[in-house]
Structure 1
Amino acid sequence: MTTTKLYEDLSRTVSANVSVYRGQSVALLTQHGKEAPLREVLGAGLGCRIQHVSDYDTDQFGTFTRDIARIGSQLDAARAKARMGMQLSRLSIGLASEGAFGPDPVSFMLPHNLELLLWIDDGLGIEVIATASGHTNFSHKTVPDFKEAKHFAESAGFPEHHLIVRPDDEHHPQFRKDLSTWDAFQEAVDWALSLSLTGKVFIETDMRAFANPTRMLNIRRAAAALVEKLSSLCPACGAPGFAKSGVVRGLPCEDCGQATEQAKADIIACVRCTQQILIDREEQFAAAGNCDYCNP
C-alpha cells in the first residue's frame, strides 16, 4: 500500500469516528470576544464545550497599542494564555489564540495577518498548533485634520472596524480606543489635535478581535484548521493531531536532475509518539528556474 493510500484510508477512518473531545470542557481565556467564533467552529467540529474564562486581564500578555510589550514569541504568548486559562478553570484542556501583523511574506508590500491557535491537552500530554493567514486592514496614518482622518477611516473599514487615535505619533503615551461611531471618532481627533505639539494626529486600526471583523474571519479559519488536525488520529497511539509537520526537500530539476530546495514530500507526524509517514507530492520535477545548479 502506498503512503498516499494509507493516509487517505486513515482520513476516512478518522472522519467516521466520534471526536475524542465530544462533551469535554476546554478553557479559553479571552476578553476580546474570541469565545463566540471558537465556540461555534470547535463546538460543531469537535463536540467540545468552550468554557470562557474572563477573570484575568489578558492585556498583561501584551497589547496592540504597545503600552505593554508582548514577551516572547507569538507561540509563547498563546501558551501563557492557555496555561492561565487552565489554571483558573482547573481544566486539563486549554485553548488560546494569538495574532500577529506585518508585511506579506511574499510581496512584502500588503499587510498580513497570521492567526495562531494552540490546543493543550495535559491528559494526553500534547500540544496542537493551527494557523491561518490572510488579508488584514492593519494600517496607520498621521493626519493634520479631520478631513484626512475621515478618508483614512473610510479606507480602513470604519466604523465596523474600530480605530485608535493619538496626538502627534505612535509613541505618544495617551490614546483613545474603542472608537466605533463617527461622533466618537471626531471627538477623539479633536481631542488629539488639542494635545498635539505638531498639529498632527496619529490614527491606527484597532486589531483586537472584537474590534476587527477581518481578523475575526482569520480566527475562524484557524479554528477550522484546528478541527481538521484534532480530527486526525495517529494510527499508532490514537492521539489527535496526526497532521502535516514539515516537508522533505529535494525535488529533482526538470533539466539536470539535481535535487532542488523544492519540496518533494510532506511529513505527516504524531504530536505524541514517533509515528510518521511521508506523502509524495504530485509534482515530479522542479522548474529549472528553481535549480541552484542551472541558475547558480
Structure 2
Amino acid sequence: MKKNKNIYLNQKAILATMHKKEQVIAPILKQELGIEVAVPEQLDTDVFGTFSNDVERAGDQLEAAQKKVETAMLQSGLNIGLASEGSFGSHPIIPFMPFNRELILFVDKDRDLEVTGLTANGNTNYAGKIVESYEDAYEFALAQGFPDHGVIVKATEDTTNRKEMEKGIIEADHLKRAVSRLLTSSRKSVFIQTDMRAMFNPTRMKNIELATLDLVKKLQSFCPVCTTPGYEVIEYKKGLECAYCGNPTEAVRSHLYKCKNCTHEEEILFPSGKEYADPARCNWCNP
C-alpha cells in the first residue's frame, strides 16, 4: 500500500453543508491533502432529510450523501465534492444506549471515484423526552449539554408540522418561550429532543472530525497496481491462532484490501503486528 502521494494538492472541492461542518472538515483536508474546501452560498441540505423528521431522508445514509454531493457539484461546477451524513439510534450491542454513525463521502468525478470515511460509536447525546413543563424541559436540556448543545421542542414526538416545532434552541429564554407556546389547554405535554445538527451539537461535530480523518487515511492509501487512491480494507478476517493451543480465535488474522478501480485484491496478514492471539481471547482455553 503506497501512502506517499499527494495528488490533490491545491485542488478545490465543494462541501455540501449548511450546518457549519466545514469548521472541522476543511482544516483537515487542507493540512493532510492540500485541498481547498468551499461551501455553496445557497444550498438547502435539509431537503435531503432532517433529524426532526419534518423532511424524510432521501434514501439511506450513503444515498442521501450522494444526492447532496451531486447537487453541490452541479451548482459549483467543481469536479470534487464532499458531503457528510449522520444516523442515530440504539447501540447495536447495548440497546438502551444511543449510537452515532457518521459517514463522509468524497467524490472525484474526473477519476470516477467514491471514497467514504466512517466512524461509529456511543459518544453522542442523542435523546428525547415527553415533558409537561418548562422546568422539566430545562432539566432535560441541561442533562444533554445545554446550552452548548441545542435542543428541539415539538408538539408531539411524531409531528412533522414545522409550525409545531422550534429548532436550534440554545438559550433558556428561547426554550421557555417554545415550551409555553406549544403547551395549550388541550395539549398538556410536549416533546423535547437533542438538536443533532452539527452546528448545534459539538459532540456530533467531533465524530464528523473522526470520519474525516478516516477518509483522509483512505485517500492517502494507493493501489499498488494502478495507484488509484482509496485502497482500503473491505474485509476483516478472523481466525488468529491462539498462542497456547493453536486453535483459531475471534481475533483478526488478516485484512483484505481491494482497489476501487482495477479490482486488485491483497490480503495482509497479522495487521496488529501479532502472529498469535492472547489465550485469554481463546474460546478453547477459556470456554
Q: Distance in 2 between matches of 1:141 and 1:197?
A: 19
Q: Distance in 2 between matches of 1:169 and 1:75?
A: 26
Kept after mapping to 1: 8 A contact 2:55/2:160: no
Kept after mapping to 2: 8 A contact 1:254/1:288: no
Q: CA deviation at 1:158?
A: 0.8
Number of the residue aligned with 2:221: 232
Structure 2 unmatched ranges of 5 or more: none
TM-score w.r.t. the length of structure 1 is 0.86
Q: Among residues 173, 177, 185, which one is paired with 1:183 in the alignment?
A: 173
Equivalent residues in 2 for 1:72-221, closer than 5 Å: 72-134=59-121, 135-171=123-159, 173=161, 174-194=164-184, 197-221=186-210
Q: CA deviation at 1:238?
A: 1.2
Q: CA deviation at 1:231?
A: 1.2
Whether 2:235 is the aligned partner of 1:246: answer yes
Partner AA of 1:119 in structure 2: F
Kept after mapping to 2: 8 A contact 1:168/1:198: no
Whether 2:38 is the aligned partner of 1:51: answer yes
Change in CA separation of 1:200 and 1:83 when aligned onto 2, cut-off 3 Å:
same
Change in CA separation of 1:247 and 1:172 when aligned onto 2, cut-off 3 Å:
closer
What secondary structure is seen at the aligned counterpart in 1 of 2:253?
A: strand
Q: Distance in 1 between matches of 2:44 and 2:255?
A: 40
Q: Distance in 2 between matches of 1:268 and 1:168?
A: 47
Deviation per residue, 1:155-209 (Å, 9 max, x gap):
0111111111112443363101121111111111111112x63411210011111
Equivalent residues in 2 for 1:61-80, closer than 5 Å: 61-80=48-67
Structure 1 unmatched ranges of 5 or more: 1-6
Partner AA of 1:179 in structure 2: I
Partner AA of 1:45 in structure 2: E
What secondary structure is seen at the aligned counterpart in 2 of 1:53?
A: coil
Q: Distance in 2 between matches of 1:54 and 1:24?
A: 19
Q: CA deviation at 1:149?
A: 1.1
Partner AA of 1:284 in structure 2: Y
Q: CA deviation at 1:133?
A: 2.3
Deviation per residue, 1:256-276 (Å, 9 max, x gap):
866566532111222212223
Change in CA separation of 1:277 and 1:168 when aligned onto 2, cut-off 3 Å:
closer
Q: CA deviation at 1:104?
A: 1.8
Give the percent of matched residue pairs that are identical in Structure 1 and Structure 2: 37
Q: CA RMSD in A?
A: 2.4
Deviation per residue, 1:80-113 (Å, 9 max, x gap):
1111111111111111100011112232222111
Partner AA of 2:125 in structure 1: N
Kept after mapping to 2: 8 A contact 1:253/1:291: no
Kept after mapping to 2: 8 A contact 1:166/1:202: yes
